[in-house]
Amino acid sequence: MKFTDWATRVMIISLMFAALILVLFLGKAAQLQNNPTASNSDITDWSPYPQTQLQPTQDKKSKTPRVTQSPSPTSQVLARYKTTQAFAQYRPNYEITSVHPSNYGERYFQDINGVPLNNQPIIVLHETSYSASSAINFFQAPHDDQDVQASYHTLVKIDGTVVYLVPPEKRAFGAANSVFDGPDGLETVKTNPDLPPSVNNFAYHVSLETPPDSYGNTSPQTHSGYTEAQYNSLAWLIAQSQIPEERITTHQKVDRSGQKVDPINFDFNKFLDLLNTYRKIKPMSILRK
């Protein structure tokens, strides 16, 4: 056999091996792409919640911020909330503050009995009872006792400053013994065998700072209510979500302990008017993923 013939055969065999390796690599990549959550099957993706949207992306044509949220992979989307020009023009101050890991956890796909969870997100409104700084200090302290562990995702100060505390994809411990009574019936999830079921696994918790005249007092008669800045910042924050009005509730409504009455003297109509100023429903084509 001539040397040139031998070299040609060696080159052809090498190319065949290279092609085989490439095919195997592409197949593995496609498998990983089709199953992105295989390595983290216990934790959910909660993109419909408000994000830490500090500087919203601007649409070059309309100059209106586009706050997009990913729908569920199997859902059909007929309409989406889109933020408005009023949203783009409102810029609340913000702070980002860490919370001790003992005061929040992960969101799960299954309850303690292995039953799959498919609750749609809700927003629960709270108030702090005392100053914003006292609430933050409590959240930053480690707590070994499960009965006292607590946190919000976000807090709105009296001056309208938005304080980001727990990332939206995490489970804040905002409501203990709690149930959401929604259009489709009662919803709650038990994720800890030692604690009552709660809405925490599918809730985004937002708190308003209590006015000084009502520190430690739950009487509506002595509660002066919330500032214009608080209502505007709260509506601006929630306008970034895809959660409908009927799934926005309060701590008092979801509580089953009979002890929670917050947020006291909250003007829901005023809040919804502002929310509808900051976001609008936009019909969309049916999407499939």
Cβ proximity of 156 and 208 under 8 Å: yes
pTM of model > 0.75: yes
Side-chain-side CA neighbours of residue 26 (13 Å):
6
Give per-residue burial for 34-72: e unless 16+ CB within 10 Å, then b: eeeeeeeeeebebbbbbbebeebeeeeeeebbebebebe
Q: Walk along the chain (289 residues) and give the pLDDT tens digit of each residue.
A: 554 554 555 455 555 555 544 444 444 444 433 433 333 334 444 467 777 655 443 333 333 333 333 334 444 557 899 999 999 999 999 999 999 999 999 999 999 999 999 999 999 999 999 999 999 999 999 999 999 999 999 999 999 999 999 999 999 999 999 999 988 899 999 999 999 999 999 999 999 999 999 999 999 999 999 999 999 999 999 999 999 999 999 999 999 999 999 999 999 999 999 999 999 998 876 545 4
What is the pLDDT at residue 66? 31
Residue 22 is encoded by which pair of tokens? 């490439």
Per DSSP (E only), the strands in the chain are 79-83, 94-96, 104-106, 122-127, 154-156, 162-164, 170-172, 180-182, 185-187, 203-208, 248-250, 279-283
Report angle CA 67, 70, 72 to the nearest 5 degrees.
Answer: 150
Tokens matching residue 89 = 């023009």
Domain borders along the chain are 3-35, 42-283
**Torsion sign across C-alpha atoms 244, 168, 54, 231:** positive
What is 35-64 written as a DSSP string? -TTGGGTTB---TTSPP--SSPPBPTTT--
Q: Given this model, what pLDDT does residue 79 score?
A: 83
pLDDT at 76: 56
The CATH code of the domain at 42-283 is 3.40.80.10
Quote the pLDDT of residue 49: 77
